[in-house]
Amino acid sequence: MPLRALAPCYRLLQAAATTGRHFSSATSAFQWIGFIGLGNMGSHMANNLIKAGYRLVVHDINDATVQMFSEKGAIAAKSPLEVSELAEVVITMLPSAKAVSDVYMGKNGLLSKRDNLRPFLLIDASTVDPKTSCTISTFSRQCSLAEGRFEGFDHPIVLDSPVSGGVVGAQAGSLTFMVGGIEDGCKAAEPLLSCMGKNILYCGASGTGSAAKICNNLALAVSMAGVSEALSLGQKLGINAHTLTKIFNTSSSRCWSSDTYNPVPGVMKGVPASREYNGGFSCQLMKKDLELAVAAANENNALTPLAVQVKNMYGEMCEGGNGGKDFSSIFKLIYRGSSEEFSVPEEQKF
């Protein structure tokens, strides 16, 4: 279903956002925070909340990770429903739209109780399609809050709040949050989000945060492929990758993929390319995000020829057993036509 078909949902949420309703001082001073999804990103985000003094109720399919957080003082919950019975605000960081739908609307999900819910604010930081985000927000309006939980609202507010910044940003607390949903909800979430990120950008009605994220990752994937292609060509034309990177970073081709997250092994310290492409944002996840972008484009009659091509390249990476490698490893796919292994002279490294 095209996003324009979801306009009634957006209009309802926008109307609620402009009624002048605000959260009571009691609800803005929340203490117990639920966190579901303690993977590479979520674990660092949850750690930053603990450092900020919040008390957590956590749930994850990985029992060892839950145990680790229990040892830090968090309460371990057996299901999303149990999290919702203990927390005032819940944050989710999950790997797929199906996982998000199950956690919110499935059996023992956050909204499965439907009536007299404790959490007044549900923040989904996962990267999913805008339709999923809007569906969950619509579902939440059919649920009711416990009396007195949320001034001016009788249902919980769901925000789609995907992030940019990767594992490094999650660890450093420097993420960018792209927030869709009722604007009052975004304002209420700011104290929490600011513990995990530096930039909190309100995008508009439900689904717009998710839309912003897939557009951002489309641009990132194409940028990384372009930088990799240019650096590969330069190497074969006799220009050292270190030298060419300096040229890029002081010229019109400068971008994040060249000056902050360079894909060539040995050129930049501390990035996945210099640790055999381990850590960071995986090829598998980038492929998933590009699939979301291409699907959204097809549903809305938008052209994304570059996204389609790069999606196929990441598909080839995954099929070759490199799905778990960082997405900058697309450089190896492009460079593989060389008769020699890529190398950077010792004197040129870092």
Q: Which residues are catalytic?
A: 213
Q: Distance between CA 48 and CA 77 in Å, rounded?
A: 19
- Specify the pairing of strand 175-180 against strand 163-164: antiparallel
Question: Do the beta carbons of residue 161 and residue 199 sit within 8 Å?
Answer: no
Which residues, including other chains, have CB under 8 Å from residue 346's CB and lie 6 or more apart? Answer: none
Question: Do the beta carbons of residue 94 and residue 126 sit within 8 Å?
Answer: yes
Question: Do the beta carbons of residue 161 and residue 238 sit within 8 Å?
Answer: no
Q: Specify the DSSP element, H or E, that contains 20.
A: none
SS3 category, 7: helix
Which residues, including other chains, have CB under 8 Å from residue 24's CB and lie 6 or more apart? Answer: 150, 151
Nearest to 273 by CA among 263, 259, 286: 263
Question: Do the beta carbons of residue 297 and residue 211 sit within 8 Å?
Answer: no
CB half-sphere exposure, 160, CA atoms < 13 A = 31
Q: Specify the DSSP element, H or E, that contains 55.
A: strand 55-59
Q: Distance between CA 347 and CA 138 in Å, rounded?
A: 58
Question: Do the beta carbons of residue 131 and residue 207 sit within 8 Å?
Answer: yes
Q: Distance between CA 288 and CA 343 in Å, rounded?
A: 30
SS3 category, 79: coil
Nearest to 234 by CA among 244, 224, 242, 222: 244
**Partner residues linked to 157 by β-bridges:** 121
